[in-house]
């Protein structure tokens, strides 16, 4: 009895928090539009939405490819200005005629003074070619694409709160300037935006990382399945597949009958080529070794 | 088929050609076997260069950024081929002529095999091996380019390989020329290495300092810049685009980025022709 009382009085220690690590490898990933059922898509999305509204370029053509090269990644601390500008794209929707004025009131100094928090990230530097049905141009479409991988998934909730607070603060000023106000985002909407913009890169272990993100953002429409995110929307379901490096390599849209109406998968042509070359090289190397040994044995006999 | 071959061999004209080609071919095959260890050594050195300077730094240092495009990646590392050409050509081509005189084997061989055919066979053998070394280097770099950036490999990479081969041809001819009058292999190697690595650079610097807007078209060091520059998307078409005027401390000089393509090819072929012609003249007059 005394032992039970003693044990129950010991305070429960918190479960050890997971340590996440980045899994990126430098190199290039190519994605290809493998399936697009135009009729099925139009039946499902009667609001005129098309795949290129989500992904840009020629993403509404089967066989169109997109390429991303991972250049490097390093430890960094992002400030509020970088979060708002690079993740939420607060400058992108401002019309050119009002941009200078907007910049005078919304800039690094004004934002970091009001919102001084910093967020620990692995800052990864990408080069991107948009979806292209013909051969890729030599020059990329975006040479300096910065994507942060948050070391603590809880920070995603913090930056969403930061954005919503800033938007509420800013919208009255924007309305006076006759600029469209910034939308207030829910957790589901924020995660969907990150996925569509390609700004969600995962840290290992991926399933725990995704679970923690969904918990923190209070997502109701999203669930995790191994290394995939499943978005269950009203008219469609989307499965977003992540590679062993944590980058987005697959995007599958299902209609209400669970039929695939749009699919983007990873293009493995280069990997297949290198593996084939390796196999052929090994076979030739083996033949050469055998030939040299037979030749050496013949010489010995002579 | 057999009758056809027999009639061909009995044909006097064919037999004449056969008599000319066979000694060259025999010497060529002998040279391939004799220098095969150098071939393997230089091929491994080339691959080692790429692994240590081109793969490990990106693997071990996450902050070290990859170049933006595949072509930029090739441009940065193709300069290693210059070192491979200089050192490889010195070791492959230096012994071609001077070895026969240094080891006094010339007077034994020459009455049986024509001395020119011997040297041609040796030269072609060394050229084949050196081409193989460069091919392995370019192939390995292309594999790394595909590994980091995917297919396809830009066609300008092949142009660079072509210019690299011409550069190698010119350097090999120059070294063969030195081999034709030098006494032994070691002196030939040391002299040509010093000339190619240091001597040419000093001469170019002095000429550029005295004649500031003069393009050193005679220089192998200037012309070999085309090996990497030919991969530029917008290759400069006018003379003014091929240099940069630098002014510092009241002094002006021109920094030449690249020769024109036509000029570089002409200079490489001229070097090859002139050096080989001089080598054959000196060789024919050289006494044991």
Establish if A79 belongs to a structural domain. yes
Nearest Cβ partner for B71 among A138, A143, A277:
A138
Domain that holds residue A237: 23-295
DSSP state at residue B152: P
Statement: residue A11 has pLDDT above 50: no
Give the pLDDT mean for A114-135: 94
Q: Does B257 touch chain A (CB under 8 A)?
A: no
DSSP state at residue B65: P
Cβ separation A26–B66 shorter than 8 A = yes
What sign results for the dihedral spanned by CA atoms A172, A178, A182, A183? positive
Nearest Cβ partner for A138 among B65, B69, B143:
B69
Whether residue A158 contacts residue A117, with contact meaning beta carbons closer than 8 Å, is answered with yes
Range with the poorest average pLDDT among B58-67, B95-104, B206-215: B95-104
Q: What is the pLDDT of residues A47-89, one digit of tens each?
A: 888 898 999 899 999 999 999 999 999 999 999 999 999 999 9
Statement: residue A95 has pLDDT above 50: yes
Tell me what pLDDT residue B104 has: 61
Average pLDDT taken over every residue of chain A = 89
Give the pLDDT mean for A262-288: 92
Cβ separation A270–B143 shorter than 8 A = no
Confidence of residue A16 (pLDDT cuts 50, 70, 90): very low
Q: What is the pLDDT of residues B184-231, one digit of tens each?
A: 889 999 999 999 999 998 998 888 888 877 888 899 999 999 999 999
Establish if B42 belongs to a structural domain. yes
Establish if A16 belongs to a structural domain. no
Statement: residue A14 has pLDDT above 50: no
Establish if A11 belongs to a structural domain. no
Q: Does B58 touch chain A (CB under 8 A)?
A: yes
Give the pLDDT mean for A107-135: 93
Q: Does A295 touch chain B (CB under 8 A)?
A: no
Statement: residue B110 has pLDDT above 70: no
- C-alpha distance from A178 to closest chain B C-alpha (Å): 40
What sign results for the dihedral spanned by CA atoms A193, A195, A201, A202? positive
Statement: residue A12 has pLDDT above 50: no
Residue A87: CA count within 13 A, CB half-sphere: 29
Establish if B171 belongs to a structural domain. yes
Cβ separation A27–B143 shorter than 8 A = no
Cβ separation B151–A140 shorter than 8 A = no
State ipTM: 0.84
Statement: residue B12 has pLDDT above 80: no
DSSP state at residue B211: S
Statement: residue A184 has pLDDT above 90: yes
Interface test with B, best of A270, A285, A295 (most B CBs within 10 A): A270
- C-alpha distance from B147 to closest chain A C-alpha (Å): 7
Domain that holds residue B160: 25-197+273-285
Q: Does A157 touch chain B (CB under 8 A)?
A: no
Tell me what pLDDT residue A235 has: 86
- The total of structural domains in chain A comes to 1
Cβ separation A27–B149 shorter than 8 A = yes
- The total of structural domains in chain B comes to 1
Q: Which residue of A has its CA nearest to B153?
A: A270
């Amino acid at each position: 009895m005394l032992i039970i009382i003693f044990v129950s009085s010991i305070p429960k220690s918190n479960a050890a928090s997971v340590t996440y690590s980045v899994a990126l490898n430098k190199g290039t990933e190519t994605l290809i539009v493998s399936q697009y059922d135009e009729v099925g898509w139009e039946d499902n999305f009667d609001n005129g939405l098309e795949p290129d509204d989500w992904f840009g370029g020629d993403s509404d053509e089967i066989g169109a490819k997109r390429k991303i090269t991972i250049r490097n990644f390093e430890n960094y601390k992002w400030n509020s200005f970088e979060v708002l500008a690079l993740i939420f794209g607060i400058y992108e929707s401002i019309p050119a005629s009002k941009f200078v004025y907007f910049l005078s009131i919304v800039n690094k100094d004004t934002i970091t003074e009001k919102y001084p928090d910093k967020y620990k990230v692995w800052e990864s530097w990408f080069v991107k070619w948009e979806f292209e049905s013909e051969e890729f141009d030599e020059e990329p479409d975006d040479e300096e694409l910065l994507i942060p991988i948050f070391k603590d998934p809880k920070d995603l909730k913090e930056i969403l709160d930061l954005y919503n607070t800033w938007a509420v603060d800013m919208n009255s000023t924007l309305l006076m300037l006759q600029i469209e106000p910034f939308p207030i985002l829910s957790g589901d909407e924020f995660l969907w935006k990150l996925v569509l913009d390609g700004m969600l890169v995962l840290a290992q272990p991926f399933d725990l990382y995704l679970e923690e993100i969904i918990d923190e953002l209070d997502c109701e429409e999203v669930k995790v399945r191994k290394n995939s995110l499943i978005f269950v929307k009203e008219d469609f379901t989307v499965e977003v597949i992540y590679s062993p490096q944590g980058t987005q390599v697959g995007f599958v849209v299902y209609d209400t009958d669970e039929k695939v109406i749009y699919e983007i998968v990873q293009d493995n042509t280069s990997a297949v080529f290198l593996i084939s070359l390796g196999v052929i090289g090994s076979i030739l190397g083996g033949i050469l070794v055998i030939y040299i040994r037979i030749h050496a044995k013949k010489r010995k006999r002579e | 088929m057999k009758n056809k071959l027999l009639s061909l061999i009995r044909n006097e004209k064919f037999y004449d050609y056969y008599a000319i080609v066979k000694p060259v071919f025999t010497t060529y095959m002998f040279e391939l076997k004799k220098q095969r260890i150098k071939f393997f050594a230089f091929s491994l050195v080339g691959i080692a260069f790429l692994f240590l300077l081109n793969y490990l730094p990106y693997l071990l240092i996450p902050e070290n950024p990859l170049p933006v495009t595949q072509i930029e990646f090739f441009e940065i590392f193709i300069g290693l081929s210059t070192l491979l050409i200089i050192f490889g050509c010195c070791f492959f081509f230096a012994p071609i002529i001077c070895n026969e005189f240094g080891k006094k084997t010339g007077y034994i061989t020459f009455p049986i095999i024509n001395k020119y055919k011997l040297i041609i066979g040796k030269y072609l053998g060394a050229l084949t091996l050196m081409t193989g070394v460069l091919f392995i280097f370019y192939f390995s770099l292309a594999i790394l380019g595909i590994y980091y950036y995917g297919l396809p490999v830009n066609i300008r990479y092949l142009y660079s390989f072509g210019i690299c081969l011409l550069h190698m041809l010119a350097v090999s001819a120059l070294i063969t020329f030195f081999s034709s009058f030098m006494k032994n292999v070691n002196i030939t190697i040391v002299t040509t290495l010093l000339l190619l690595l240091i001597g040419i650079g000093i001469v170019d610097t002095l000429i550029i300092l005295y004649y500031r807007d003069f393009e050193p078209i005679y220089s192998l060091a200037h012309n070999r810049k085309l090996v990497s520059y030919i991969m530029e998307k917008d290759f400069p078409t006018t003379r003014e685009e091929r240099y940069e005027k630098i002014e510092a401390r009241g002094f002006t000089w021109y920094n030449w980025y690249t020769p024109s393509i036509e000029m570089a090819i002409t200079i490489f072929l001229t070097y090859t022709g002139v050096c080989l012609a001089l080598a054959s003249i000196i060789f024919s007059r050289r006494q044991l």
